[in-house]
Chains A and B, each alone.
Chain A
Amino acid sequence: DAKTTQPPSMDCAEGRAANLPCNHSTISGNEYVYWYRQIHSQGPQYIIHGLKNNETNEMASLIITEDRKSSTLILPHATLRDTAVYYCIVRVAAGGSEKLVFGKGTKLTVNP
């Protein structure tokens, strides 16, 4: 699975958009970008995933660059409950290597 690079920490004001970047310059054509988050010692929570098109769901939006070498997770209106470690993970959707390889992630702190 390709490796990803994320900033170790970010801050965001409550109510503002949080934009979390991720670099995955060695991503392969059949690899998806997945985002998970972990709120203090809880189980990792799936947020969103995409291949090459931008994706949106009730939690967040995922913007993937045209060359697919980087992406940005957007939380449109961050709340205090969004404070967590956010992991960007690249993997094949099904088959191949199934495991999730967690890197260091980005510690997002949402401030009141």
Chain B
Amino acid sequence: AAGVIQSPRHLIKEKRETATLKCYPIPRHDTVYWYQQGPGQDPQFLISFYEKMQSDKGSIPDRFSAQQFSDYHSELNMSSLELGDSALYFCASSLAKNIQYFGAGTRLSVL
């Protein structure tokens, strides 16, 4: 069965650069969630979209923005990157806000 696809899998950036992470949900899923997992930490919710509208927001820095497009894929844009942004970023998708299925994640390293 098709799963959540995230790209890229690995990303290396310098401080103050920008990064864009992409998420392609399971076909027919209408809700996308973004989570951040720092080293040794548990996943923390950032933001979610339902039917292309933002539906919930967590501790997402103002430097980050996200959107969900007409084909339901989502992008997380991160600007003015800081060393502390180095983390695993997971995307999950669900149908009508039910069971969330996660992608393999993007490992972002900020140097």
Contact = CB atoms under 8 A, between A and B. Distances in A.
- Bound pair: A and B? yes
Q: Which secondary structure characterizes the binding site on chain A? A: loop
A44 B96 contact: no
Interface residues of A, number: 22
A34, A87, A102, A105 — which one has the most chain B CB atoms within 10 A of its CB? A102
A59 to B, nearest CB: 13
B42 A98 contact: no
B68 to A, nearest CB: 14
Interface stretch (A16-24, A70-78, A89-97): A89-97
A33 to B, nearest CB: 13
Contacts of B107: 41
A111 B106 CA distance: 30
A69 interface: no
Interface residues of B, number: 27
A98 B58 CA distance: 11
B88 A46 contact: no
A38 B41 CA distance: 12
Contact of A44 (B31, B55, B90): B90
Given A43-B4, A95-B97, 18 more contacts: A34-B99, A41-B88, A41-B105, A41-B107, A43-B90, A43-B103, A44-B43, A46-B101, A46-B102, A49-B99, A87-B42, A93-B98, A94-B98, A98-B50, A99-B56, A100-B33, A101-B45, A102-B44
15 contacts: A42-B105, A44-B43, A44-B92, A46-B99, A46-B100, A46-B102, A49-B99, A94-B96, A94-B97, A94-B98, A98-B48, A98-B56, A100-B33, A100-B43, A102-B44
Closest 8 CB pairs of A and B: A43-B102, A99-B45, A102-B42, A94-B97, A102-B43, A98-B97, A44-B102, A43-B104
